A and B are shown apart, each in its own frame.
Chain A
Amino acid sequence: MHNLSIVELSAGLHSGEFSSIELTRLFLERIGRYDERLNSFITVTEASALGEAEAADQRIRAGEAGPLTGIPIAHKDIFCTSGIRTSCGSRMLNNFIAPYHATVVSRLKAAGAVMLGKTNMDEFAMGSSNETSFYGPAHNPWDEGLVPGGSSGGSAAAVAARICAAATGTDTGGSIRQPAALCGLTGLKPTYGRVSRYGMIAFASSLDQAGSLTRSAQDAATMLQVMAGFDPRDSTSADEPVPDYTAALGQDLRGLKIGLPKEYFGEGLDREVGQSVASAIEEYRKLGAETVEISLPNTELAVPTYYVVAPAECSSNLARFDGVRFGYRCEDPKDLEDLYKRSRGEGFGAEVKRRILIGTYALSAGYYDAYYLKAQQIRQLISDDFNKAFAQVDVIMGPTSPTTAFALGEKADDPVTMYLSDIYTIAVNLAGLPAMSIPVAPVAGRPVGLQIIGNYFQEGRLLSVAHQLQQVTDWHRAAPDGFKA
């Protein structure tokens, strides 16, 4: 039952083959059995999950259910949940109980999805390996000595191990797509503004976007249908109609123009990962798509630009954590300045501190033009590269990550090497475009992701492109050995 897709689970619930209570108990039992090895959950909400499952069963019996009613999912611990701790992977918020739900949480709850708990993540979503979490790293179910990726590493590990049916994530520089790639999942980062940021703890507000980690594109369409839409509580929410994503899945691929950026297949890409991605692209040719070589000339500048824009926004956003109104407060502060400095110094981990300091420096008097202004100008050039490409092609494809999952600890002490592992995902956030990662042929037992980038608000197109491949290949069905039973 744990291997079934959301659509299959929903059919089983509606036909009365099993109840949401039974399904929820099964997943809770699997969390109990496996999560000690994975550390994918920070908080498991057993009692409220069973209550929600019972309510879902009543809705189903009353004929008032939707496609997500009764489906057990998990939320990345960056989404505020009223009455349940929201830690953001940080000591700073280890005691934080939000007074309201994030819009993503309310929408999924209203749709009848059952929340099993809150998943592990890099502290404040700053990291690519889940190793910066205050709660310790999550482990990759394909090999527990490997990282699951990050920052949505707990969500990825939990969905890959089949201990929840789907999970939410957030993506500021690749934090949904890279863990999806490293754990063999379908990850969707929608267009900036497509999904509300209300109640999603802010890291870099012009880049942050919520999305999902699922086992298929069809499941991703079901999740996005509920998550997407205008929210007056988010000042940058897009007021655009939400199409029927499931209905769009059947779109034919004949004549689809796929752009292959030469910069995404050059130096730095692992040879076998490159071959795996190329063989998936070959499948697309068989399905009738055309491929065109394109160029995104400013690709190399995406990581440097991001490490100005994101830290600058983070240094501003994280100023709110001051030990006064909520969150961690140091012991015996001697004055107000000591209260601020020690609460923040003790409450934040090393990576968060590095980014606050870089951002503070980049925005400080005398340096603004050299760093922040320059970065915003290059951001425009990167965005122009994509606009030119989309005048020529329908979607862009390439690898999600230059390598398969790396070992825990391998890059933890070298921030710059860690940053460069996001080379193919970061430009998409700077431009605000939607993108997905879907699993293709693994390399030495380790999952590989194909990244598909679309034009603004073309999530329906992306989902259909992903779904069509998943109709003729089985890569997305592979489950890690230790978690099949």
Chain B
Amino acid sequence: MSLEKSDVEKIAHLARLAVSEEELDSVAGDLSNILQLVERMNAVDTSGVTPMAHPLHMVQRLREDVVTEVDQRDYFQSIAPAVEQGLYLVPKVIE
């Protein structure tokens, strides 16, 4: 599978990742090479094989539905780029 510049633009948008016009060609080339490596998987017939999502085949542990953490909003927000009155600030979303 070989990716075009337009494919990279589409994927970069899905990933919310800025890729500059100058980088597009080299990124498309690198990604195509990686996909070529990945496509070696096609050499094996995997029909009927159960996909393995996790090494230990665990089930999700459940716990009592009780409060285990205290409110530390101010502390956690002290490392945020911009906050006001306990809210995270971002550029205006609704006109």
Chain A residues packing against B (C-beta within 8 Å):
95-97, 99, 192-193, 206, 232, 235-236, 238, 298, 300-301, 303-305, 307-308, 315, 319, 322-327, 329, 333-342, 344-346, 348, 353-354, 356-358, 360-362, 364, 371, 373-381, 383, 415-416, 419-420, 430-433, 456
The complex places the Cα of A206 from the Cα of B54 at a distance, in Å, of: 6
A329 contacts B17, C-beta separation under 8 Å:
no
Choice from A97, A339, A361, A431 contacting B31 with Cβ under 8 Å:
A361
B46 contacts A315, C-beta separation under 8 Å:
no
Additional A-B contacts beyond A232-B63, A325-B76, A335-B93 (4; CB < 8 A): A333-B90, A340-B16, A348-B17, A361-B31
Which residues of chain B from 24 to 61 have a CB within 8 Å of any chain A CB? 27, 30-31, 33-44, 46, 49-56, 58, 60-61
Which residues of chain B from 52 to 89 have a CB within 8 Å of any chain A CB? 52-56, 58, 60-61, 63, 72, 75-77, 79-82, 88
Q: Which residues from chain A contact B61 at a C-beta distance below 8 Å?
A: 232, 235
Chain B residues packing against A (C-beta within 8 Å):
3, 7-8, 11-12, 14-20, 27, 30-31, 33-44, 46, 49-56, 58, 60-61, 63, 72, 75-77, 79-82, 88, 90-93
Q: Which residues from chain B contact A378 at a C-beta distance below 8 Å?
A: 41, 44, 46, 49
The residue among B33, B38, B60, B77 with the most chain A CB atoms within 10 A of its own CB is B38
A375 contacts B17, C-beta separation under 8 Å:
no
B76 contacts A99, C-beta separation under 8 Å:
yes
The complex places the Cα of A339 from the Cα of B90 at a distance, in Å, of: 8
Choice from A232, A338, A356, A373 contacting B91 with Cβ under 8 Å:
A338
B51 contacts A376, C-beta separation under 8 Å:
yes
Quote the shortest CB–CB distance from B16 to chain A (angstroms).
4
Given the contacts A97-B79, A300-B40, A304-B40, A379 and B52 also touching, CB distance less than 8 Å: yes
The complex places the Cα of A236 from the Cα of B50 at a distance, in Å, of: 21
The complex places the Cα of A339 from the Cα of B75 at a distance, in Å, of: 23
Q: Which residues from chain B contact A348 at a C-beta distance below 8 Å?
A: 17
Quote the shortest CB–CB distance from B64 to chain A (angstroms).
11
CB closest chain-B residue, reference A209 = B55
A354 contacts B44, C-beta separation under 8 Å:
no
